[in-house]
């Protein structure tokens, strides 16, 4: 199978918060004291259990950070082009008081109009600031007063554990700011993205997630954002207790870039095509004067030959695969598929040097390649 690697890159792990005031505000809030979960929660003389207290505290701390996203798309009906509303299309997470809202790319893909409804019921027009289809992440900008914007506080997804209690807030079926609870059922799942790539390190949860929850927050028991709900596994289109969320670590790497430049700048290894084999990836073509070619990697060669045919001499071209490199590892980690290779490269930054291990003419070589920046 021939795979295209013309857009090889990584989830740039470059936190540009120091140059991005909007993101800096969100990060600053991480140091702010959170409501004490051990505090007694009472209302009209009612006393709640410890579990109920946690549920209430998390919801009250974060529900104002969740928005309902409604969209309109134009669809062809015969000879006419109609605008079709999609109420409760998805959810979103307020990132800062400048109006940036985080959601899934598939929630806003191909739509003409976006309306964001805040916690107070007010609706505001939103525009797409940046999208990253390979991770199904989009950032919107909503025109709303700062006093109505309550940014969520980013946590970490580096130390999550299976069995850990989690909370999802979203707008299933258009029912805004609905809370559901559950646990982390598994970690490091993979999901196919619309771009044809695979999203890695996905969080699996049994918290009820339904259509309309996409783009909403997945929270820990401290009310910190640990993921963004993105998909469910279901034969009916409704929750079957298997939901998936993009980890906050992925979003923390790419959201600042989406806010600053509208897209993610990924590193470029300079390998444009490979053939997937049982032993590794056979390099078919390199980007001319790209990082891999400059490092001495080899792809297929075009050999020109002349043959006499009667009184004429004809020139032919053939592809010589014998000298092409077979990629077997990146940075010491074996690769079997194109997605393995892309994931390994995407863990680096432009300018980083990586060792690409190849088999060439019966020998294994470790070739240092300095990654370039994706154009």
Give the residue numbers marked as catalytic: 106, 136, 214
Residue 156 neighbours by CB distance under 10 Å: 15
**CA 344 to centroid of chain Cα atoms:** 15
Give the residue from 90, 103, 88 showing the smallest Cα distance to 140: 103
Query: What are the tokens at 109?
Result: 């893909």
Residue keyed to tokens 């080899």 = 298
Query: What are the tokens at 309?
Result: 């045919």
The three-state secondary structure class of 344 is helix
Helices marked H in 197-353 — which ranges? 248-261, 291-294, 338-346
Residue 287 neighbours by CB distance under 10 Å: 21
Residue-by-residue DSSP string for 258-272? HHHHSS---EE--EE
Helix (H) or strand (E) holding 72: strand 66-77
Give the residue from 273, 294, 296, 269 showing the smallest Cα distance to 285: 273
Q: Which residues have CB under 8 Å from 203's CB, separation 6+?
A: 157, 160, 184, 187, 189, 218, 226, 227, 244, 245, 246, 247
Helices marked H in 262-303 — which ranges? 291-294
Strand positions, DSSP E, 118-251 = 123-132, 137-142, 165-170, 178-192, 198-205, 217-219, 225-232, 243-247
The three-state secondary structure class of 206 is coil
Residue 91 φ then ψ, to 5°: -120, 170
Output the CA–CA distances (angstroms, integers) from residue 49 to 25, 38, 179, 180, in the order listed: 34, 10, 17, 17
d(C-alpha 146, C-alpha 342), whole Å = 39
């Amino acid at each position: 199978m021939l795979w295209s690697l013309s857009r090889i890159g990584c989830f740039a792990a470059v936190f540009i918060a120091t140059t991005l005031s909007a993101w800096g505000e969100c990060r600053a809030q991480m140091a702010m004291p959170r409501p004490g979960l051990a505090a007694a929660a009472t209302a009209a003389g009612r006393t709640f259990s410890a579990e109920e207290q946690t549920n209430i505290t998390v919801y009250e701390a974060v529900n104002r950070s969740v928005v309902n996203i409604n969209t309109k798309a134009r669809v062809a009906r015969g000879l006419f082009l109609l605008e079709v509303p999609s109420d409760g299309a998805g959810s979103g997470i307020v990132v800062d008081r400048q109006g940036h809202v985080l959601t899934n790319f598939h929630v806003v893909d191909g739509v003409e109009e976006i309306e964001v409804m805040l916690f107070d019921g007010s609706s505001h027009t939103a525009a797409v600031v940046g999208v990253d289809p390979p991770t199904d992440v989009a950032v919107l900008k909503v025109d709303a007063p700062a006093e109505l914007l309550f940014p969520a506080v980013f946590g970490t997804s580096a130390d999550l554990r299976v069995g850990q209690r989690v909370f999802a807030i979203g707008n299933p079926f258009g029912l805004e700011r609905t809370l559901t609870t559950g646990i982390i059922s598994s970690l490091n799942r993979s999901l196919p993205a619309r771009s044809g790539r695979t999203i890695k390190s996905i969080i699996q949860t049994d918290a009820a997630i339904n259509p309309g929850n996409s783009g909403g927050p997945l929270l820990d028991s401290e009310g910190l954002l640990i993921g963004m709900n993105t998909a469910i596994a279901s034969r009916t289109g409704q929750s079957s207790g298997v939901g998936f969320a993009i980890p906050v670590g992925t979003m923390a790497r790419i959201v600042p870039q989406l806010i600053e430049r509208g897209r993610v700048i990924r590193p470029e290894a300079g390998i444009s095509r490979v053939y997937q084999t049982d032993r590794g990836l056979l390099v078919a073509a390199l980007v001319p004067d790209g990082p891999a070619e400059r490092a001495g990697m080899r792809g297929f060669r075009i050999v020109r030959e002349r043959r006499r045919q009667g009184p004429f001499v004809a020139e032919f071209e053939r592809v010589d695969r014998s000298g092409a490199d077979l990629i077997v590892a990146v940075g010491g980690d074996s690769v079997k598929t194109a997605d393995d290779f892309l994931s390994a490269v995407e863990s680096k930054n432009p300018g980083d040097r990586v060792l690409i291990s190849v088999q060439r003419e019966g020998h294994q070589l470790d070739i240092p390649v300095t990654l370039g920046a994706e154009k």
